[in-house]
A and B are shown apart, each in its own frame.
Chain A
């Protein structure tokens, strides 16, 4: 270690012969991409046959994620207001909600919604399909609601996902609101704003900035966790279709494996652009005003 006093000297130039491995790496990347393309090309018949179905599944995955995120935002916002409330019972209920949801696996919760709560509500006579059907008929003459089996599964799936993510977003929103310095509130009070105006015009706009990067990250994990709905059955999203296609071809092990590879590839194509977007947002909002 000679001359390592300054920043520029501590990062030495790569030694000659190891640089060759960099070019080996580039060649290996191209070769791996080629090999993967060839692997997919081998199953071109299955791709042609199943790609439209998988695209529909991807569409349902995105629909599930977006609608769950909207509902989860509502849950999270109400939860955050509850946790910051001055009224103790609200605080306690919100705290129990967050602790219980964040302490148990989402898979168990989805089971509980899809099998437990569903059976319980059916005994009481609650039927989301009929309600949706009547509501849609109220709006239009030819009501378009998917079949009861699909609709109920999607309904309980969205409720389960958003109830889970609501707890995580509660904490995101709470830390966002708490991170606004108390001086802002005091200044607003001294200017004569009332507490509702302070929340709406001073605190929330500033808290919003801080919550955007974690919000985007949670959206990506939500897209990934929507794959868990394949375990409760009836929701024809990407993972469910992958499992169905793979199980149907279980006699041919290579073909079965191909479907799992293809499903994971579709998820990657959805999630990786979102990850790049999240990283951009993070760098964008890390800067000062």
Chain B
């Protein structure tokens, strides 16, 4: 094991880590937004809103992320190519690359999980709170935004942070469709130095740990504080 390779590899690895952070920072708010829409659709009393949300969540949660990412990458490019062919416009498929398809795949995959978190959060606010709000004359919008949401958000933060860590780790899979993040950098360096790749793996793992451990300690600290407050 020859650790003298690390100073050479470090700048590229750090750049890869930065790209990993960008993937998460862009995808997670999108996943939250989609997840909130799905959760609200799923709690609707109309089947035409509830049904599609349930089907989406079940299908996404029952297929591997790597299959979804290939499907989105090739599906988007095929569909856009067919559309541009049909209308005779410029080829739109050139816009499908590791960044767009990766962010779309992460957001689509995680929205199903965030929807469950939102649903559990809203359900954890007692029914009596809603009843009390209605008895005080609030309407259902006021009840949702002033009573349910402020009580549900603190409960949802620990699972959100956990899902952010999961997303950080799952963003490694974006490397299979030419996303240029930490694992892709690791893979190119591994191929370049095939005889002795162990130091490179250690470097990548340390970088991932530096990203994920503080976040997970924050989640645990916050959860302890929350439990003490309740």
Contact = CB atoms under 8 A, between A and B. Distances in A.
A183 interface: no
A225 B63 CA distance: 10
- Most A CB atoms within 10 A — which of B48, B135, B168? B48
A19 to B, nearest CB: 8
B165 to A, nearest CB: 8
A11 B68 contact: no
Interface stretch (A42-50, A84-92, A106-114, A195-203): A106-114
Interface string B24-47: 000000000000000000000111
Given A10-B134, A104-B205, 18 more contacts: A1-B134, A25-B52, A99-B209, A100-B205, A102-B216, A103-B165, A104-B212, A106-B172, A107-B173, A108-B204, A111-B186, A112-B198, A227-B64, A230-B66, A231-B66, A243-B70, A253-B81, A261-B71
B48 A267 contact: no
Contacts of B5: none
B197 A107 contact: no
Contacts of B165: 103
B46 to A, nearest CB: 6
Given A246-B74, A256-B74, A267-B63, A10 B131 contact: yes
A224 interface: yes
Interface string B165-190: 10011111101100000010011001
B58 A103 contact: no
A18 B135 CA distance: 27
A111 B74 contact: no
A257 to B, nearest CB: 5
A168 to B, nearest CB: 11
Interface residues of B, number: 57
A227 B78 CA distance: 23
B74 A260 contact: yes
A206 B30 CA distance: 41
Nearest to B187: A111
B116 to A, nearest CB: 12
Contacts of A119: 194-198
B150 interface: no
B139 interface: yes
B130 interface: yes
9 contacts: A1-B139, A4-B135, A5-B135, A99-B209, A103-B208, A109-B205, A227-B66, A231-B176, A243-B70
Interface of A: 1, 4-7, 10-12, 14, 18-19, 21-22, 24-26, 29, 99-100, 102-109, 111-112, 115-117, 119-120, 220, 223-225, 227-228, 230-231, 239, 242-243, 246, 253-254, 256-257, 260-261, 263-264, 267-268, 271-272, 275
Interface SS of A by simple majority: helix
Contacts of B68: 264
A275 B173 CA distance: 23
B51 interface: yes
Contact of A116 (B46, B58, B140, B201): B201
B78 A257 contact: yes
A213 B171 CA distance: 27
B28 to A, nearest CB: 16
Contacts of B173: 105, 107, 228
A257 B81 CA distance: 12
Contacts of B52: 25
Contact of A239 (B64, B77, B216): B64
B48 A25 contact: yes
Contacts of B154: none
Given A21-B48, A231-B176, A264-B68, A107 B62 contact: no
Contact of A112 (B81, B134, B201, B213): B201
Given A105-B169, A111-B187, A275 B58 contact: yes
B169 A104 contact: yes
Nearest to A28: B48
A267 B62 contact: yes
A222 B189 CA distance: 28
B67 interface: yes
A247 to B, nearest CB: 10
A108 B208 contact: yes
A213 B55 CA distance: 22
Interface string B137-178: 001100000000000000000000000010011111101100
Contact of A107 (B81, B130, B183): B183
B140 A1 contact: yes
Contacts of B15: none
Contacts of B78: 253-254, 256-257
B202 to A, nearest CB: 9
A103 B216 CA distance: 9
A103 B206 CA distance: 9
A260 B64 contact: no
